[in-house]
A and B are shown apart, each in its own frame.
Chain A
Amino acid sequence: KAGVTQTPRYLIKTRGQQVTLSCSPISGHRSVSWYQQTPGQGLQFLFEYFSETQRNKGNFPGRFSGRQFSNSRSEMNVSTLELGDSALYLCASSLEGRRAEETQYFGPGTRLLVL
């Protein structure tokens, strides 16, 4: 079974631009979560989607948004990029995301550099 895939793996943008990152969960997984990892702030939860609906949300500004499609693939969008948005963006999927012992599988991440 293929793992969680994220595209692109690397991205360079300039301030003020917007970016869209994509995540394909493991087949059959319906819950997709997004995280931001930076050296200064560590790993922070962005949001989680299930059945095309945002079910949980972290403490990020409205510039960060996401969506999920009927095939459970998810995209996240960051508008009006700032230098501080440079980070590794990780996507994770799980079957239903309803039980804590349900394993979340992480993708390799998309490394975004904002110049």
Chain B
Amino acid sequence: GEDVEQSLFLSVREGDSSVINCTYTDSSSTYLYWYKQEPGAGLQLLTYIFSNMDMKQDQRLTVLLNKKDKHLSLRIADTQTGDSAIYFCAESAGYSSASKIIFGSGTRLSIRP
């Protein structure tokens, strides 16, 4: 069945890079997403990658996709205190943003001074 797994917690020092990992099971996934949720707020789409891509970079964010291993990662360079949040990995087997999306359990990123 469809499943997306992430580690629950990650702690990094301010200024270091954060790498959040995710594995998924649905090989038919067409899009993979990273969302950010800050306390008391809804979800914010950070970035997405199409399944035929290996890498996507957007400012401080780098997404790497290993389709063979069904492994997705999000690297945040120069991590700041404002990056403290829960990060959700998600997959979609459809071609629309409103197709059924399967979310991981979220990784809580905390920043040490």
Interface residues of chain A, those whose CB is within 8 Å of chain B, are: 4, 31, 33, 42-45, 48, 50, 55-58, 90, 92, 94, 97-104, 106-109
The answer to whether B18 has its CB under 8 Å from any CB of chain A is: no
A4, B97: Cβ atoms closer than 8 Å: no
The answer to whether B92 has its CB under 8 Å from any CB of chain A is: yes
B42, A106: Cβ atoms closer than 8 Å: yes
- Given contacts A55-B98, A102-B97, are A44 and B42 in contact (CB under 8 A)? no
A99, B103: Cβ atoms closer than 8 Å: no
B88, A108: Cβ atoms closer than 8 Å: no
Residue of A nearest to B103 (CB): A43
Q: How many A-B residue pairs have CB under 8 A?
A: 71
Interface residues of B in 76-113 (CB under 8 A from A): 88, 90, 92, 94-106
- Given contacts A42-B104, A43-B103, A44-B103, are A100 and B40 in contact (CB under 8 A)? no
Whole-angstrom distance between the alpha carbons of A92 and B99 in the complex?
12
The answer to whether B21 has its CB under 8 Å from any CB of chain A is: no
The answer to whether B55 has its CB under 8 Å from any CB of chain A is: no
21 pairs, A vs B, C-beta closer than 8 Å:
A42-B103, A43-B43, A43-B90, A45-B101, A48-B98, A50-B98, A56-B100, A94-B98, A97-B97, A97-B98, A98-B95, A98-B98, A99-B97, A100-B31, A100-B95, A101-B31, A101-B97, A102-B97, A104-B45, A104-B97, A108-B41
B62: A residues at CB distance < 8 A:
none
B44, A106: Cβ atoms closer than 8 Å: yes
A92: B residues at CB distance < 8 A:
42-43
User: How close is B62's CB to chain A, nearest CB, in angstroms?
Assistant: 18
User: How close is A49's CB to chain B, nearest CB, in angstroms?
Assistant: 9
